[in-house]
């Protein structure tokens, strides 16, 4: 029988030196799945036999005939989870892998879920004949809704993953879970407790003190069976009694102190209606659902580490079709974000944002509406890697990956957020022309477009200063600058209103500089974007910052939730002007407004008046110089990428295309 061979190359390093590397093998997946993520391959194992050899049913456990095979495996460069899986495959414990993503349908998915989604589905993509299930942990009818079920499925698909036939619900197993509970009662390992929730909590003990046994702990098996049957029949009110495991109230692991397995909830379930009035607790349902689905590796975040003994204890007591293994990894914590569903629900319900998909929220729906590409989120999660210790990942890291993808993919357009009118006095009145503009300098296949030019144009107000400081290379009285794709212009006159505010610039142009170059070879340092006043379309532009003001928000601190929010997280510009071709883009598409940033068209807009959500800023050369030198004057529209809170920046990443700076 053939062995295993090392294959592939080490992938990029993640936090704590842990890389995100895949198994170098054929990929699989239902139609629509991505297979190996964007061509990334890493150190792993490849079977030299048929991928079906040695399979034993759906559990992924290898047949006995394989146990004596000679195997060679290299785990160099793999993160610790992939190392465990590689060893399981090499030892013959499993011939393939079955993972699952098990969200509770009580809210929308957020950036932390994105990491778990990527990890579970990518593992299944990397290993032959493997799969990932999408299973809804719908055991709490009080908080679960069909809206969230549908939203979660849409989010997972948008991220680029497909569960194929393997869409499951814990409610699919309610009868089986009930039977397992009855089995525990028959074994004398579960009992019905009449204590109140407060009494159970008070008797639980602490990390240093053992708990106190319930006075109902030693009921007979027959009495417990009768009481549990009456619980199911609806004879008791909510809170009257619960079913608890009988383990050890003196256990140093608090989760093992006779945990609750079932409670009464007389509420309609989104799938089963009123068929049930008792529902299993997560710890009971989770491990058994894994076993019923033949999950091989049950991956969860570190807060479930203390629950692993209970996970294993339940499986040890019962006869199940497979034996899954729980493995914990660090959750994804990103600066200026919170991922507590309870807190996010408060933010929504108290009206601090417009909804779960408000672009300031950390939900996947919000990031999609903001214009974050799914590819960027996947690449971010892959780059962060898989670790055993919680870390705070810089928000700038996420923005870096968003910029990287959008720089490659987004088409360029010109738009003005704060218009200042410019009249080109020596340009013929009533005349117009169309200038060729590149759609994306990073992608020649994107082609070009025609941009209308006329005698009156708009430029950004902060691209002009009457008394410019050193290193300000934009427009000023008597100074010549280049209009992107158009001509050199020189400012001749500044027109002000009665309040002394600048309302118009009078300029001249050099008709010999069409396209941006002078025949005599003279150079200009400043290049400005612009739009034709007559041809441009109006737009509302929403400039989003971070929802929270501090990198590590503390909604429980002084002042509570409201004090932790960033009061400047949204600025709306209602006087924006865009080149007319922006109307051709559909809601959800992202473009770069040259020299300003990346923007996504929002469903609130129309072709006649688009609404743009700022996805992420570009880096602003002048803003950095002005900040360093303490110069007065315009600082742009947050183009440096700094949000309006007290954000710390760690690294800038790779430079975007030259049009991103233009200073």
Catalytic center residues: 104, 331, 341
Name the CA dihedral angle for 398, 405, 663, 507, rounded to a multiple of 10 degrees: -120
Instruction: Identify the sign of the CA torsion 43, 45, 50, 51.
Output: negative
Please name every residue paired with 134 in a beta bridge, in sequence order, or none if there are none. 101, 167
SS3 63: coil
Name the CA dihedral angle for 165, 166, 167, 171, rounded to a multiple of 10 degrees: 130
Picking from 476, 388, 486, 392, the residue whose alpha carbon sits closest to that of residue 433 is 486
Regarding beta strands 411-413 and 590-593, do their DSSP bridges make them parallel or antiparallel, or are they unpaired?
parallel
286 vs 300: CA distance, rounded Å: 11
H runs (alpha helix) in 187-248? 197-202, 221-233
238 vs 412: CA distance, rounded Å: 59
SS3 180: helix
SS3 179: helix
54 vs 13: CA distance, rounded Å: 34
H or E, element range at 22: none
47 with 4: CB under 8 angstroms?
Answer: yes
> Which residues contact residue 27 at a Cβ distance below 8 angstroms, ignoring those fewer than 6 apart?
35, 36, 125, 126
Q: Give backbone dihedrals phi and psi of 167, rounded to 5 degrees, phi first.
A: -95, 120
What radius of gyration do the chain's Cα atoms show? 30
**What would the two tokens of residue 628 be?**
């360093």
**What would the two tokens of residue 372 be?**
């974050």
324 vs 135: CA distance, rounded Å: 15
> Which residues contact residue 417 at a Cβ distance below 8 angstroms, ignoring those fewer than 6 apart?
460, 541, 543, 573, 576, 596, 637
Residue at token pair 């009080």: 142
Residue at token pair 């290193």: 471
Q: How many CA atoms lie less than 13 Å away from 650 in the CB half-sphere?
A: 8
In the chain, helix, strand, coil percent, each to 5?
30, 25, 50
**For 215-225, b where at least 16 C-beta lie within 10 A, e where not — what string?**
ebeebeeeebb
Picking from 19, 16, 17, the residue whose alpha carbon sits closest to that of residue 385 is 19
Picking from 134, 20, 25, the residue whose alpha carbon sits closest to that of residue 82 is 20
């Amino acid at each position: 029988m053939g062995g295993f061979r090392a294959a592939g190359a080490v992938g990029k390093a993640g936090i704590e030196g842990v890389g995100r590397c895949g198994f170098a093998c054929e990929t699989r997946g239902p139609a629509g799945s991505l297979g190996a993520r964007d061509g990334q391959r890493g150190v792993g194992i490849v079977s030299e036999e048929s991928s079906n050899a040695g399979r034993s049913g759906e559990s992924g456990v290898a047949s006995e005939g394989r146990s004596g095979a000679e195997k060679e495996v290299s785990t160099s460069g793999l993160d610790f989870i992939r190392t465990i899986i590689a060893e399981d495959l090499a030892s013959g414990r499993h011939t393939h892998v079955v993972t699952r993503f098990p969200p509770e349908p009580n809210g929308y998915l957020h950036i932390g879920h994105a990491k778990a989604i990527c990890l579970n589905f990518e593992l299944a993509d990397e290993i032959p004949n493997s799969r990932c299930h999408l299973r809804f942990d719908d055991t709490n009818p009080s908080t679960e809704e069909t809206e969230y079920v549908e939203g979660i499925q849409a989010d997972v698909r948008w991220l680029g993953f497909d569960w194929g036939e393997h869409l499951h619900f814990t409610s699919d197993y309610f009868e089986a879970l009930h039977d397992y509970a009855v089995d525990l009662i028959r074994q004398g390992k579960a009992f019905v407790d009449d204590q109140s929730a407060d009494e159970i909590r008070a008797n639980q003990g602490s990390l240093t003190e053992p708990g106190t046994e319930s006075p109902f702990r030693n009921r007979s098996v027959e009495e417990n069976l009768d009481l549990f049957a009456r619980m199911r029949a609806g004879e008791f009110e909510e809170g009257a009694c619960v079913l608890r495991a009988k383990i050890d109230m003196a256990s140093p692991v608090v989760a093992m102190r006779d945990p609750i397995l079932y409670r009464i909830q007389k509420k309609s379930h989104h799938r089963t209606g009123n068929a049930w009035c008792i529902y299993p607790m997560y710890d009971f349902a989770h491990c058994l659902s894994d076993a019923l689905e033949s999950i091989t590796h049950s991956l969860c975040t570190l807060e479930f580490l203390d629950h692993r003994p209970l996970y294993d204890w339940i499986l040890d007591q019962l006869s199940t079709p497979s034996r899954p293994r729980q493995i914990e990894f660090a959750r994804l914590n990103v600066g200026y974000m919170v991922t507590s569903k309870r807190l996010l629900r408060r933010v929504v319900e108290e009206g601090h944002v417009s909804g779960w998909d408000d672009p300031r929220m950390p939900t996947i729906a919000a990031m999609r509406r903001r214009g974050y590409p799914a590819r960027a989120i996947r690449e971010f999660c892959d780059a962060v890697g898989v670790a055993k210790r919680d870390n705070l990942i810089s928000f700038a890291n996420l923005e870096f990956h968003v910029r990287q993808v959008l720089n490659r993919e987004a088409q360029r357009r010109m738009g003005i957020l704060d218009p200042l009118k410019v009249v080109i006095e020596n340009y013929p009145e009533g005349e117009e022309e169309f200038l060729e503009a590149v759609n994306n300098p990073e992608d020649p296949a994107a082609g070009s477009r025609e941009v209308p030019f006329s005698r009156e144009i708009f430029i950004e107000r902060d691209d002009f200063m009457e008394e410019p400081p050193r290193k300000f290379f934009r427009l000023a009285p008597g100074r010549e600058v280049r209009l992107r794709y158009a001509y050199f212009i020189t400012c001749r006159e500044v027109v002000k209103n009665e309040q002394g505010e600048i309302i118009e610039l009078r300029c001249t142009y050099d008709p010999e500089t069409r396209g941006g170059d002078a025949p005599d070879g003279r150079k200009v340092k400043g290049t400005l974007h612009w739009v034709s006043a007559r041809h441009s379309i109006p737009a509302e532009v929403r400039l989003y910052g971070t929802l929270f003001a501090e990198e590590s928000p503390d909604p429980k601190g002084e002042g509570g939730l409201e004090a932790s929010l960033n009061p400047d997280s949204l600025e709306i510009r209602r006087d924006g002007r865009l080149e007319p071709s922006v109307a051709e883009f559909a809601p959800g598409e992202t473009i770069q407004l040259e020299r300003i940033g990346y923007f996504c068209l929002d469903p609130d807009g129309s072709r006649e008046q688009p609404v743009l959500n700022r996805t992420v800023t570009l880096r602003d050369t002048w803003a950095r110089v002005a900040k360093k030198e303490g110069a007065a004057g315009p600082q742009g529209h947050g183009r440096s990428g700094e949000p309006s809170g007290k954000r710390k920046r760690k690294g800038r990443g790779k430079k975007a295309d030259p049009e991103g700076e233009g200073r």
